[in-house]
Chains A and B, each alone.
Chain A
C-alpha cells in the first residue's frame, strides 16, 4: 500500500468514526427527548396522518427506544452493522414521511428532536435527514474500517 493510499484510508476511517459517533449521538438524544414526553411525541406522530390511530401509541412507545438502543450501540461500537442498518432504515422512513408531509402541505411540527416546540417542517429538514441517511449508509457499508483498518465486531 503506498503512502497516499494509507493517508486516504486513515482519513476515511477517521470520517467514519466521526459519522458513527455523530449519528449515534443524534439518535440517542432524539430518542431520549421522546421518552421523556411520550404523550407529546404521540401527538407529533398523529399529526403526520400517516398511521392508523391504533398504531400511533405503539409507535410513540417503541420508536424512541429503538433510537436510544441503536444510538447507544453506535457510540459504544457494539453491533455497529445491525445498529447502522436499523438507523439507516429509520432515516429512510423519516425521509419518506417528510416528503409526503411536504407534498401534502401539512403545517405541522417535525417532532424529530423533541416531542413539541419544534419548528414547522421545511425542505431544510429533508436536507438534514438526507445527510444523516448518507452517513448511515457509509457506516453500514464500511463500519469495519472506522478504526483505521482494524476489523470491528461486524
Chain B
C-alpha cells in the first residue's frame, strides 16, 4: 500500500463522526416512522416472557386446545408423543404416551403414518414452558413430510389443563 493513511487528521475524523451520527439519527427517524405505519410494526416494548416466546415458536404449528385433547382422549383416538430425553421420560412418563425424541423420528415415522392413517390423532406434548423439544420434534416431523399432528402446549405438566393463551412478543400490532 502506498501513500500516507488519509482520514487520520482531527478535522476529518470530526467530519466522519458527525456524518455517522447524522446517518444513525436519520435511520432512527426512518425506523420510527416506518414502524408506526407498517402493518408488521412491532411494539417498542415486547413481552419476552417464556410463555410468550413459546407462543412465537408455536405460531405456525397446529396447536391443540385442551378441550379437544379431552374429547380425543375420551374417544380413544389420541396418541401423545413425549419429546423429552428418555431418562426424564422414564422418571415421569405420561401413561399411554410414546417417547419420541427428534432423533427417533427416522425410526418412528412409518409407525406414526400408520397410526395417523388409522384415524388416530398424533399430539406432541410440550416439554416445558418454552416447549423447545416439542417444537424441535414438530419441525423434524414436518421436514420428514409428516404434518398430520398437533402440538399441546400444556403437555409439560403431563395433564391436559386449560391453556391461558399467552400473547406472543414479536406479534404485529393489531
Q: Write the residues of chain A forming the contact surface with B, with a CB cutoff of 8 angstroms.
A: 5, 8-9, 12, 35-40, 42-43, 46, 53-54, 56-58, 60-62, 64-66, 68-70, 73, 79, 81-83, 85-86, 89, 140-145, 154
> What chain A residues lie within 8 Å of B35 (beta carbons)?
38, 61
> What chain B residues lie within 8 Å of A73 (beta carbons)?
23
Asked whether B15 lies within 8 Å of A61 as measured between CB atoms, the reply is: no
Check: B12 CB closer than 8 A to any chain A CB. Answer: yes
Asked whether A69 lies within 8 Å of B23 as measured between CB atoms, the reply is: yes
Q: Bound complex: CA of A37 vs CA of B48, how far in Å?
A: 17
Q: Which of B22, B34, B45 contacts A35 (CB 8 A)?
A: B34
Asked whether A57 lies within 8 Å of B12 as measured between CB atoms, the reply is: no
Asked whether B26 lies within 8 Å of A69 as measured between CB atoms, the reply is: yes
Q: A12-B1, A57-B43, A83-B19 are in contact. Are A141 and B24 (CB under 8 A)?
A: no
Check: B98 CB closer than 8 A to any chain A CB. Answer: no
Q: Which of A38, A64, A140 contacts B170 (CB 8 A)?
A: A38
> What chain B residues lie within 8 Å of A60 (beta carbons)?
42, 170
Asked whether B16 lies within 8 Å of A81 as measured between CB atoms, the reply is: yes
Asked whether B28 lies within 8 Å of A141 as measured between CB atoms, the reply is: no
> What chain A residues lie within 8 Å of B166 (beta carbons)?
none
Asked whether B7 lies within 8 Å of A57 as measured between CB atoms, the reply is: no
Check: B115 CB closer than 8 A to any chain A CB. Answer: no
Chain A interface helix/strand/loop/mixed = helix
Given contacts A5-B2, A60-B170, A85-B20, 6 further A-B contacts (CB under 8 A): A9-B2, A39-B171, A54-B45, A69-B27, A144-B6, A145-B6
Asked whether A141 lies within 8 Å of B6 as measured between CB atoms, the reply is: yes
Q: Bound complex: CA of A39 vs CA of B46, how far in Å?
A: 10
Q: A43-B56, A142-B6 are in contact. Are A81 and B15 (CB under 8 A)?
A: yes
Q: Which residue of B lies closest to A142 (CB)?
A: B6
Q: Bound complex: CA of A154 vs CA of B6, how far in Å?
A: 10
Interface residues of B, count at CB 8 A: 41
Q: Which residue of A lies closest to B38 (CB)?
A: A38
| Distance to closest chain B CB from A85 (angstroms) | 4
> What chain A residues lie within 8 Å of B171 (beta carbons)?
39
Asked whether A64 lies within 8 Å of B31 as measured between CB atoms, the reply is: yes
Asked whether B19 lies within 8 Å of A57 as measured between CB atoms, the reply is: no
> What chain B residues lie within 8 Å of A62 (beta carbons)?
27-28, 31
Q: Which residue of B lies closest to A6 (CB)?
A: B2
Q: Which of B9-37 contact A (CB under 8 A)?
A: 12, 15-24, 26-28, 30-32, 34-35
Asked whether B23 lies within 8 Å of A83 as measured between CB atoms, the reply is: yes
Q: Which residue of B lies closest to A60 (CB)?
A: B42
The 5 listed contacts between A and B (C-beta, < 8 Å) are A12-B2, A42-B169, A57-B43, A60-B170, A81-B12
Q: Which residue of A lies closest to B49 (CB)?
A: A53
> What chain A residues lie within 8 Å of B62 (beta carbons)?
none
Asked whether A8 lies within 8 Å of B170 as measured between CB atoms, the reply is: no
Q: A53-B46, A53-B48, A82-B22 are in contact. Are A154 and B16 (CB under 8 A)?
A: yes
